[in-house]
Structure 1
Amino acid sequence: MGVPDAAFVALHAHPDDGFTANVTVDSAYRPDAAPLAEIGDESVADLAGVAETLDVTSRREIGSAAAPGLTQTLALTTAVNGVRRELTQSQVYLSLLDVHDPGRRVVVRLILTATAAQHDDVLEDFRDIVATVRPTPDTQNPSE
Structure 2
Amino acid sequence: MAATLPVPIEFHLPEGWLPVDPDTIGATGVAFAAVHPQPDGGFTANITIDGEYRPDAAALAQIADESVRRLGEFAESVTVTARHEVGSPDAPALTQRLTFAAEAGAARRDLVQSQVYLSVLDVADPRRRAVVRLALTATALQHGTVLAEFQDFVRTVGLSAGAEA
TM-score of the aligned structures, taking structure 1 as reference length? 0.92
Give the alignment of 1:19-58 within 5 angstroms.
19-58=43-82
Structure 1 residue aligned with 2:38: 14
CA distance in 2, matches of 1:65, 1:18: 41
Identical-residue share of aligned pairs (%):
55
8 Å CA contact 1:61–1:69 kept in 2: the answer is yes
Where do 4+ consecutive residues of structure 1 move more than 4 Å?
none
Structure 1 residue aligned with 2:94: 70
List alignment gaps of at least 5 residues for structure 1.
Answer: none
List alignment gaps of at least 5 residues for structure 2.
Answer: 1-23
* Larger RCO (CA within 8 A; separation ≥ 6): 2
8 Å CA contact 1:96–1:135 kept in 2: the answer is no
Which of these residues, 45, 60, 70, is aligned with residue 84 of structure 2? 60
8 Å CA contact 1:91–1:109 kept in 2: the answer is yes
Which of these residues, 101, 111, 121, is aligned with residue 125 of structure 2? 101
Measure how far apart 1:101 and its partner are: 2.4
* Residues 36-69 of structure 1: CA deviation (Å, up to 9, x unaligned): 0000000000011111211100000010111000
TM-score of the aligned structures, taking structure 2 as reference length? 0.81
8 Å CA contact 1:89–1:114 kept in 2: the answer is yes
Q: CA RMSD in A?
A: 1.5
8 Å CA contact 1:61–1:71 kept in 2: the answer is yes
Measure how far apart 1:137 and its partner are: 4.5
CA distance in 2, matches of 1:136, 1:121: 29
Which of these residues, 123, 138, 141, is aligned with residue 117 of structure 1? 141
